[in-house]
Structure 1
Amino acid sequence: MNLKEPLPENHIRTAAPLSVLCEYIPLRTLKSLAKLHMINKKGMSYKNKAAMVLIFKDHDCEHCSTSVTVLKCHIMFGAKAALPKQPAVDLGSLRDSISLLFPPMPMDDKLAHSIISDFCAASLPEAFKEAGCAVCGQLTPLKSLSNICHMKRFLHVLENPMVTHKERYHETDPVTHLDGPVLDE
């Protein structure tokens, strides 16, 4: 392109070095620029943009000193600018239409009783007490646990003689299996 040739609308001509521009150029364009500037190093990774940027940071050739870069301007907020503007709201009339009492009236006994009752119910020990799960031992809120006596008929799935072992105090103690389900006590 001739430097004196006029550019189309929304285009800018710049002589910024590639070392500055390469961070903002997509990898596909960087690959074609590497071919144009005859950058062909052994083992060079064309898949990694960071490696390409490092190569262009140290690059300087005849093409770099004689070439210019033409950038096209993109209008980023064009879609929003085309939207019709909302009419301004008169805050004075809005304030007049809403009757605010300040300070507010004191609460009545029914509301106070409701607030206090809800707080007391939420802060009862039963609401946040925890116990360990019989199967895994994880702390769980009591209200989420079921009593183990109600689950006796389902515990057979936890019975496996190869899983439960009696504690051994010495290496010479025999390995003995425990009967019953695997439960945390």
Structure 2
Amino acid sequence: MAKHPQRRSSSKNRLSLVRSQGGNAWVFAHPAEVRECAEDLEEVREMIEAGETDIATDELRWLLGMCSEMLAAHFLLGKLAVEVNNDVDLGRGHFGAGYQLGLQAWRRAGKPTPVAALHPANRVFFDCGRGLAWCLHHLQKTSMALEVVEHMLAMDPNDPLAIRSWIDEMQTEGKPVVELGGMFRGPN
């Protein structure tokens, strides 16, 4: 494992939003601890690929102990919970933690737009949001899932991840889309 940084407790080390270098969008500025743990996170991804999910889970929890605002660790723990352990509730918790951290940073910044979903610094937030929306819908909390999707669309109205279509899919799941009852009656 890579050398781990000392835990810092300064409020300066919070997830925040800054203007992109081009000035046409906003990007998440991740705490210094996140950047310092990049090598550790890459090793965790390798563990996951090798099927060492229990060890990867332990390492991700340890990394969150170093920096609770590490969105990628929340995302990977949510993904492991859902895909490996079939634990949608736990997945919801991890995806939700990452999503809430980003949402709070966005609100602290005054809700600037657009927060470019495809920018590498932002993508993990949107992935946490997508995972959270999926879990909430799966847990039959569709109104909460729709709220998550709507927040993400407010942050990046261009919708490059095509999540707008999730709204109709969630709202119509299990319901007849078209009422055909009166269409096939002949003249009276």
TM-score under structure 2 normalisation?
0.21
Q: Greater share of helix residues, 1 or 2?
A: 2
Larger relative CO (CA 8 A, sep 6+): 1 or 2? Answer: 2
Which of the pair has more CA radius of gyration? 1
TM-score under structure 1 normalisation?
0.21
